[in-house]
């Protein structure tokens, strides 16, 4: 099993550009989520999904869109990149159940917006 795979690992965008961060998992996990990590801010939840076709907003959703058409994939779209979106983005997944199990994180995408 590859676990959670994120692409790309690094990206530089110009202000106003759009892009999609890819996240795929091969563990048949129903729950998937996106976090951003900034120095001194910990991990902040952007969007999450409890299954295919279902998504919801987290703590910091503005400027980001998600969709979940399959169990395996959960892409994060930046609509119009801003310097404030410079961050490290992590995708995470966990198995189904009434209580959250430990999350499996991807290796991250380091995004710089200039």
Which of 1, 10, 14, 98 lies at the binding interface for another protein (CB under 8 A)? 98
Rounded Cα distance between 88 and 105, Å, is 12
Q: Counting contacts by CB under 8 A, is residue 27 touching another protein? A: no
Asked if 87 touches another protein (CB under 8 A), the answer is: no
Q: How far is residue 51's CA from residue 67's CA, in Å, rounded to a whole number?
A: 10
- For residues 29 and 94, is the Cβ–Cβ distance under 8 A? yes
Segment interacting with another protein, rule: CB under 8 A, options 12-20, 35-43, 66-74, 78-86: 35-43
State the CB neighbour count (10 A cutoff) for residue 25. Answer: 23
The Cα–Cα gap between 31 and 100 comes to 9
CA distance 104 to 99: 15
Q: Which of 61, 63, 75, 108 binds another protein (CB under 8 A)?
A: 108
Nearer to another protein, 12 or 100 (CB): 100
Q: If binding is defined by CB under 8 A, does position 65 make contact with another protein?
A: no
Note whether 48 binds another protein by CB under 8 A.
Answer: yes
d(CA 33, CA 15) in angstroms, rounded, equals: 25
Note whether 106 binds another protein by CB under 8 A.
yes
Q: What are the residues binding another protein (CB under 8 A)?
A: 33, 35, 40-45, 48, 58-59, 90, 92, 98-108
């Amino acid at each position: 099993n590859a676990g959670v795979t994120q692409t790309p690992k690094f990206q530089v965008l110009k202000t106003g550009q759009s892009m999609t961060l890819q996240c795929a998992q091969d563990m048949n996990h129903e729950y998937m989520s996106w976090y951003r990590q900034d120095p001194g801010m910990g991990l902040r939840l952007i969007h999450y999904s409890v299954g295919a076709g279902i998504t919801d907003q987290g703590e910091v959703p503005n400027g980001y869109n998600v969709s979940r058409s399959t169990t395996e994939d959960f892409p994060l779209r930046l609509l119009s990149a801003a310097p404030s979106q410079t961050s490290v983005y992590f995708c995470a997944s966990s198995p189904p159940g009434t209580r959250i199990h430990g999350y499996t994180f991807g290796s991250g995408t380091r995004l710089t917006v200039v």
